Structures are given as structure tokens and as C-alpha cells.
A and B are shown apart, each in its own frame.
Chain A
Amino acid sequence: MSEKKFSKQHEWLTVDGEIATIGITKHATEMLGDIVFVELPEKGKNVEKDGHAGVVESTKAASDIYTPISGEITEGNQSVVDNPSEVNKDPEGGAWFFKMKIKNKSDLDSLMSKADYDKFVTENPN
């Protein structure tokens, strides 16, 4: 499994061969507050880099989830759909959102390292 990479829309991603696992960052959950609803893309759906790939709702508001790379959804994490509060507890671990088959490896180049993401968050706190 690769090191985590991060997007400006506050998603994280790890790569294992052809498959990427995607979730939202701890910072994102802190911004959102208590998560009460998660809607994930269906298995087999083709999604485009930076395109819409689901919804996460907190007690306050609904926010879109974007996919940081293009590809085909291979699996959604049913446990976060059934227990949305898991996302607040373990956002960058067990509460991943979906896995996808990577279409263009080059999509990964635009993503940030952990250090760069932390810097990005500090400079763009909201």
C-alpha cells in the first residue's frame, strides 16, 4: 500500500496496485462536525477526476464528496453508510468511503503529500 496522498477537496487516497482507496480527511470531519449521513457511488460507476462521487451530511449541512482521480468504483464501504458517526471516529482509517480501479496513473501526480496537505490546511483553514 502506498503512502497517503491528499486533494484540495480534503480527500485522502492510498494505492494498492490498480486499486485506490478514498476517504475524507480528519480536517474535513472537523470542519463538517458530526456526520449523520453518507451516500456513496454505486459499484461499477465510472467517475471523473474532481467529479461528484457522493454526499456527506453533518447535523449542520450537506457537502459533496469529489473523487480525486478518474476510474471505476469497485466497492463502497457499507459500514460508514450504516454508521455515519464512524467517519468522525476514524476518518483516515476504517471509515474509508470507496475503492476504485485507477484509470490514469498520472492523476496521482497532482495530489499532495501529507506535509504539503498539512501546509495547505494551515494556509486555507476553511
Chain B
Amino acid sequence: MQTQKTILYNFHKNLGAKFVPFAGYEMPIQYKDGIVKEHIITRESAGFFDVSHMGQLFLSGDKTLENSLEKIIPLDLKEIKLNQSKYSFLINNKGGVIDDLIITRTEKGFNIILNAACKENDIKEIVKCLKPEHKYDLKNDLSLIAIQGPKSESILESIVCGVNKLKFMNGNHFQFENKRIYITRSGYTGEDGFEVSITNSKAESFTKLLVEKGVKPIGLGARDTLRLEAGLCLYGHDLNENINPIQANLKWAISKRRREEGGFNGWENIREDLKNGASKIRVGIKPLGRIIAREGTKIFSSNGEEIGVITSGTFGPSVNSSVAMGYVKSEFSKINNKILLGVRGKKHDAAVSELPFYKKSYVK
């Protein structure tokens, strides 16, 4: 498969981006500042992320669209108001997560943001649930730019009037250079911020304005340290087709009505885990020293019994310590439970930690 580029590729290049192949795209891993600085900038000021590789799927149809989608998405879609967004998943027949997503109600139906690596397969799975009269369109003419950090509201407001009225996980249409753009107040860094869906032809002039106003470019490297400190899952690592939302400790992303009524793919398995608890569960893990526990690191109980595996691990610049997430047998999942991590042939002390590692303090 040939590697694709987003519309902003040359723009990133001029900003000093280092590229890596990611989900079939050449994406910036970092810019000149490097991962740690980019991370801190996002926490303390504002950064932008080109996330145009992600899928922007638009679905339209009559009232029956909700019922069709509810087969594969365990949300109460009737409850979602116009322009409101929710985090959830596509679920397979075993209850496993095909992808995690953000869904927003639009005038004509729904808009779903999908992971780049999964989007083509996601559509196949979604289409299986749709009726012939439902329409779907994976937009290739739209870019997606995230602006994250405490200064993102004031800076974006100076470019697009009215965004400061948006509430978290809500969106609306705005104008930029005579084009309609769609902005949601959301993100995946643990910071306040926005995601801007904008026609490809305006993506560069919009991003240029952000840079002029002091928003720094942030690569995938810092995106990963930011989301991990915020306790957020990365699909393909912390989530996959063999993990169900209960195991992933994401019960909250299944709506209450759906947890009672079911009626979605894999319900039997999920009902079982809802009732009796999952045998393994995702937890936060903090190594006691500076040792970094990468994906695949084995987790042991204090008696040396193997109890699980790390699915994400890095150094968290804002918490100034090593942080990780992984799956452990449920009986070992209590906060502060002492565990051991096998790194390079030695066992290192660690403890089960609360998530998120980093909590926004809104004190000003």
C-alpha cells in the first residue's frame, strides 16, 4: 500500500517535522522542539495536531438510522442531542472493540470520527447494520485539526468568533473565510480544546493563522504521552478486537439503557462481564523508579505469578515519572496494589495507580 499524505504535509515539513509512517500515512512524530517540549506546550499553552488521517464518516437517514447503528454502537443514540458528541465503540459479535470513536448528531444523522488504521474496515462493519435507504460518506475532502491546551479557547475565539460558547463534547457550524466549518469542543489530551473539521482547501490558511497566533505544532509522539497521562486508550494497543469495554474499564461509554437492555453485538459476553465482573481489567500502572515499561512488558504479582501485560508505557513529562497502562487479573487491580514489571530480565517494583495520571487543575 502506498503511503498517503495529509493536505498539510508540506506545511509540516516547513515547520521542521520529522515524519513516520502511521496507519498508512506519513505523519509528523515531532517537530524541532521535541516530544517533551511539545507535551509541556500543550499542557501550559496551546498546540495543534493534524489528525486529518482519521476518518470523518457522515451517516444520514430517517429515524431508523438510530436503531441500525445501535446494533454496533452501545450508546443510547436517541438521547444524543443535535451537535452533542459521545465517546464509544464499534462492537463485534464477541463484544470486542472493533474501534473506538466519537459520534456527534448532525442535522441529517450522525458524524463519526474513526481511527485512521481502522476506518476502512469500520465502514464495512457499519454498513452491515445499515438499511439500503441509509447513506454514508467517508469524507476525503475534509481535514481535521485539533487545538489543545489552556490557551486554545482564547486563540481560537480570535479566529472563529463564538467558539467560546461551546460546551465540552458539543459542536456547531462556524464560518472561516466564507466556508462553513464544523468545530467540536473535544480532544484526546486531557486538556480543554477543539477539533476543527475544515475543507481541505482552507486547512493550510487556517493552520497558518494558528501558528501566527502562537499555537505550536505537536506531533504524534507528544500526542501519545499526553493521552497516556490522561488515561486514554490507544486503539491497537490498549484496545483491540479481543478486549471488551468492561475489561477496558470503559463501562461508562456504554449508555445506561444499553447496559440494561443490551441489543447490540456481543451483548451476551458483555452482560456476563457486567454481572460478574471481567476476569482481567485495564489499570493504570506506575513503576516506582524511572524504569519505562513498554508495551508487552509482563506484569507479575508480588509472589512472582504472571498476572498480566503492559499495553502502553512511556515517560510522562507533566507527572515527571514513568507511567503505563495494562491488563491484570481483576483480583490484582486494586489501587496501590504492589506489582512487579519484568524489564530486561529483572523484576521492577510498581503499583496499580489511579487513572488519569494527570488531572487538569483549573485553578487560575
Contacts and interface: CB of A to CB of B under 8 A. Distances in A.
A34 interface: yes
Contact of A60 (B37, B221, B317): B221
B292 A34 contact: no
Contact of A33 (B221, B292, B294): B221
A121 interface: no
B292 A37 contact: yes
Interface residues of B, number: 17
Given A33-B221, A36-B315, A37-B315, A59 B294 contact: no
Contact of A37 (B30, B35, B37, B322): B322
Interface in B4-60: 29-30, 34-37
A33 B315 contact: no
B35 A33 contact: yes
Given A34-B36, A37-B315, A62 B221 contact: no
Contact of B36 (A39, A59, A61, A62): A59
Interface string A75-116: 000000100110000000000000000000000000000000
B213 interface: no
A37 B34 contact: no
Interface residues of A, number: 15
A59 B290 CA distance: 12
A89 B294 CA distance: 25
A57 B343 CA distance: 12
Given A33-B30, A33-B221, A37-B315, A59 B291 contact: no
Given A33-B221, A55-B344, A62 B315 contact: no
Nearest to B291: A37
A34 B290 contact: no
Contacts of B314: 36, 59
Interface in B256-298: 290-292, 294
Most buried by A among B30, B294, B315: B315
A62 B291 CA distance: 11
B221 A59 contact: yes
B225 interface: yes
Contacts of A34: 34-37, 315, 317
Contacts of B291: 37
Nearest to A52: B344
Contacts of B35: 33-34, 58-60
Contacts of B30: 33
Interface string A33-45: 1101101000000
Closest 7 A/B residue pairs (Cβ): A36-B315, A34-B36, A59-B35, A57-B292, A37-B290, A34-B34, A37-B292
Interface of B: 29-30, 34-37, 221, 225, 290-292, 294, 314-315, 317, 322, 344
8 contacts: A34-B36, A34-B37, A34-B317, A37-B315, A37-B322, A57-B315, A60-B221, A84-B290
